[in-house]
Amino acid sequence: MITLPSKAAEIILKGEIVAVPTETVYGLAADVFNIQAVQNTFNAKGRPADNPLIVHISNMDQLKKIAINLPHNAFALALAFWPGPLTLVLHKHKNVPDIVTGGLSTVAVRMPDHPLTLEMIQLSGPVTAPSANRSGSPSPTRAEHVKKDYNNSLPILDGGISRIGIESTVLDLTVEHPLILRPGAITAEIIKDKTGIIVTDFEKSYSESRTKSPGMRYTHYKPEASVEWLNSESKKNDPDSYYILHSDLTNQSAPNYFHYNGDFESMARDLYDHFRTADHLSYRNIKIEPLPDLNINPLLPALMDRISKAIGS
């Protein structure tokens, strides 16, 4: 484990990879301009070469080295939401190696909201950072998760628990009508309220995003335990089940019950940790209380997306 951003930057500048904290999930960072280092992140994760990476920057000058022909709304969005959980898909600068974008002419960029990682990038320059899980695991939200996935073989900059817990919103700005390819903490409604910019929401763009965002084509993490929505028959306490509840539907209190009482921020922050814990403790099922109307909290569409993928529907 590393605690100093300067040490992590040194590793990046040597052409090696290091796991870094962000406000969403931990990422596996490499120098964006070092083809071998970027290749090593694909290898370490076991990630298909045609699933492009997100470039992480710490200031707006770096953006000019990564993307070209920036539309006006890119600046407005960066001003409103960076550093933060919004990834913008832009036209790629020719100096960004093709391996970063899986051969696409577009590049995904964001400025993460974590003081240690921002400080590292100030010293190292822009880095690619896919979520730091090995394929087959959910995105890591704690340094311990990364340590376990890689048998303690990687340097990790320890930045505590990721505040948001699910991956950033991915917004494509290279098309005539901007559209959300992956839902995250920043929704179309939040974007409209804060900037006046209208973007097509994830649900409406779902069929299009499946083909446009290469990551959407791949099968997603499913815990060993079967994930299912809690239904009326399954309400009773089953010692083989791990329960995640957002209302006070049942006031069972037992070590296998997790109540959120409408606190969806905490539920999102803990979701992947619950998946990992349930598997670690060999639970057979993870039962999640069906979510309420997705309009009542901005995190609900993203939670719905990640839970549906874990269920496999």
Under the rule (CB under 5 A), what is the footprint of Mg ion? Answer: 131
Nearest distance from residue 139's CB to ligand TXA, in Å? 6
Residue 52 vs 301, nearer CB to ligand TXA: 52
Which among ligand TXA, Mg ion, none contacts residue 256 (Cβ within 5 to 8 A by kind)? none
The residue range among 34-42, 46-54, 64-72, 272-280 that interacts with ligand TXA, by the rule CB under 6 A, is 46-54
Choices 49-57, 191-199, 234-242, 265-273 (CB under 6 A): range interacting with ligand TXA: 49-57
52 binds ligand TXA (CB under 6 A): yes
In terms of CB distance, is 22 or 131 closer to Mg ion?
131
Binding mask 59-98 for ligand TXA (x = CB under 6 A): ----------------------------x-x---------
Scanning residues 171 to 200, which ones bind ligand TXA (CB under 6 A)? Answer: 181-182
In whole angstroms, how large is the CA radius of gyration of the chain? 19
- With CB under 6 A as the contact rule, the residue among 34, 73, 101, 137 that binds ligand TXA is 101
Provide the minimum distance between the beta carbon of 121 and ligand TXA in the complex, in angstroms, as a whole number.
12
- Binding residue for ligand TXA, selected from 215, 223, 298, 301, defined by CB under 6 A: 215
Q: Report d(CA 8, CA 19) in Å as an integer.
A: 9
Backbone φ, ψ for residue 161 (5° rounding) = -80, 135
Q: Does 123 bind ligand TXA (CB under 6 A)?
A: no
Compute the least distance from the CB of residue 137 to ligand TXA, in Å: 12
Distance of CA 283 to the CA centre of its chain: 25
Whether 256 and 239 have beta carbons less than 8 Å apart is answered as yes
Q: Which of 47-52's residues contact partners 24+ apart within 8 Å by CB, and which partners?
A: 47/130, 47/135, 48/218, 49/99, 49/102, 50/102, 50/103, 50/214, 51/102, 51/214, 51/215, 51/218, 52/100, 52/101, 52/102, 52/104, 52/107, 52/108, 52/214, 52/215
**Residue 246 CB, nearest approach to Mg ion (Å):** 24
How near is the Cβ of 49 to ligand TXA at its closest, in Å? 12
Minimum CB separation from ligand TXA for residue 105, in Å? 8
Measured from the CB atom, the residue of 5 and 52 that comes closer to ligand TXA is 52
